[in-house]
Amino acid sequence: MKKIFVVEKEDNVGTAVGKLIEAGETVATEGRVTGLEVVAHADIPYGHKVAIRPIAQGEQVLKYGLSIGSATEDIAVGDYVHLHNVESNRGRGDRYAEEKECAS
């Protein structure tokens, strides 16, 4: 079974670290969350992310135990996680005030 790597316990995404995972394939987690089996809903290329827990719209997407952005739609376990369903919380002129608050 192909593996997806989970950096920290609280992460809700894992990263494909081997050959392309094909839609419908069952993969197992490795790293800080081990042995959790997930059915991929889409092709997941090497280095790309798949949800290992449900993430509601507006919730934080967690990798490294830290937020890497917000879900822009409900994400189910096994969904491909990338630009189409995540947006950055940082480095955004349109949210400059909020960012300033975070930094202080």
Partner 1 sequence: MTEFLGYIRPDDSVGIRNHVLLLSGTLYANKICDYIAGIVPNTISVTHPLGRCQVRPDLRMTRRFLANTGSNPNVAAVVVVDHFREEGCTAEDIAHDIQEATGKPVATVNIRGEGGFVNAMAQTMRYAADFARVVSDFRREPVPLSNLLLGVECGTSDTTSGLASNPATGACADAIIDAGGRAILAECTEWMGCEHWLTERAATPDIAAQIVAAVKDLERRAMESGEDIRGSQPTGDNIAGGLTTIEEKSMGAVKKGGSRPVVGYLEIAQRPASSTPGLYVMYGPGHGGESISSMAAAGCQALVFSTGGGHTSAHPVMPTIKVTGNIHSYELMQDTVELDVSGVLRGEFSIKEAGERVLAEVLATCNGRLTKSETFRDLNSFAIHRVGVSI
Q: Does 96 bind partner 1 (CB under 8 A)?
A: no
Residues 6+ apart with CB under 8 A from 49: 13, 14, 15, 16, 63, 80, 81, 82
Among 22, 88, 96, 98, binds partner 1 (CB under 8 A): 88
Residue 64 or 76: the one with the smaller Cβ distance to partner 1 is 64
* Helix, strand, coil share of the chain (percent; to 5): 10, 35, 55
Residue 41 or 89: the one with the smaller Cβ distance to partner 1 is 89
Q: Does 97 bind partner 1 (CB under 8 A)?
A: no
Q: Does 47 bind partner 1 (CB under 8 A)?
A: yes
Q: Does 102 bind partner 1 (CB under 8 A)?
A: yes
Q: Does 81 bind partner 1 (CB under 8 A)?
A: yes
